[in-house]
Amino acid sequence: MKYGRYPFVVGFLAPGLILYVLFVLSPFAQAFHYSLTDWTGITPEFEYVGLQNFEQLLNDSIFLRALRNNAMVLVFVPAVTVFLALLFAFLLNVGGGATSAGVKGIRGSGFYKLVFFMPQVLAIPVIAVIWSVIFEPTSRGLVNSALGQVGIGPLGFLSDPALALWCVMWVLVWGSVGFYLVLFNAAISSVPREIFEAAVIDGAGRAATFRKVTLPLLWDTVQTSWVYLAILALDIYALVAVMTAGPGGPDNATQVMSLQIAQNGFNFGRAGYASAMGVVLFFLTMVIAVIMLRISRRDRIEF
């Protein structure tokens, strides 16, 4: 042990560790604790109520609605995003010609990547505001004025309970596709080109090369993306909070768990109850991450 090592180690760990314990670990631990109480968040005193909050959650129709909406987002957003990102990655990589399939790429692929990725660098409220004006329910909204030209509408995109959640999901997909495209594309470029050349020499066409060679090599990346998108779907908040009426409306059609936690915790004086929702969200996140990683686990291909 060299002189002065321990003070150094402790000194270097201290600032980061103190902040992390104070603002991250302790609130998480407290949330588990408060989930067993009837704490209002307004006055300091509270009673322990056991699992009563969780029982109540099972009968809370708004929370169940939120859960169902989160499930919808969880199913559709990752599926559509991964599908589009893979499609675009396929087009970028095989559109350029069969002789160098998967490597040469289409002309202008840099431009496409530049544009597709752009929503990713902007704050979600910025995107949400633009889209909520585009989706204006009256005929003056951008989409509605276009639909009006062909004699449809006007549709109440964000004011119709049947459409509102789909609009929110669309914006989430719209903003995410570029990120995953760039991710998949980077994974494709890291595959040695001999593999693609071998496929071409063996007479594989572009589509076959993509399906039989590129996709299996990409599988690891796709599976990680799926977990990321699932967590994003469970955590969805800013889009709903900015775009929808209420927020969460119309008629709870866009309620999601994060919004319920915020409303119960800060507006309705039910901090204990909101913490119980947070605990449910936590376990769902964990379960989904584990399940996704198990289901999609295939033999990893090393190269």
Residues 83-122 that bind another protein (CB under 8 A): 84, 87-88, 91-92, 94-100, 104, 106, 108, 111-122
Q: Which of 23, 48, 83, 268 binds another protein (CB under 8 A)?
A: 23
Q: Which of 26, 71, 75, 161 binds another protein (CB under 8 A)?
A: 26
Instruction: Report the residue number, 25 or 64, with the smaller CB distance to another protein.
Output: 25
Look at residue 37 and give its three-state secondary structure: strand
Q: Considering only residues 222-281, where is the footprint of another protein by CB under 8 A?
A: 224-225, 228, 231, 234-235, 237-238, 241-242, 257-258, 261-262, 265-266, 271, 274-275, 278-279, 281
Strand partners, 246: none
C-alpha 257/C-alpha 132 separation (Å) is: 21
Q: Considering only residues 281-300, where is the footprint of another protein by CB under 8 A?
A: 281-282, 285-286, 289
C-alpha 56/C-alpha 210 separation (Å) is: 50
C-alpha 26/C-alpha 23 separation (Å) is: 6
Q: Considering only residues 194-213, where is the footprint of another protein by CB under 8 A?
A: 197, 200-201, 206
What minimum distance in Å lies between the beta carbon of 250 and another protein? 15
181-211 per-residue burial string, b: 16 or more CB within 10 A, e: under 16: bbbbbebbeebeeebbeebbeeebebeebbe
C-alpha 110/C-alpha 116 separation (Å) is: 10
Instruction: Report the residue number, 55 or 194, with the smaller CB distance to another protein.
Output: 194
What minimum distance in Å lies between the beta carbon of 239 and another protein? 10
Question: Can residue 126 be called a binding residue for another protein (CB under 8 A)?
Answer: yes
Question: What residues have CB less than 8 Å from 108, skipping those under 6 apart?
Answer: none
Instruction: Report the residue number, 28 or 48, with the smaller CB distance to another protein.
Output: 28
What minimum distance in Å lies between the beta carbon of 133 and another protein? 7
C-alpha 161/C-alpha 153 separation (Å) is: 16
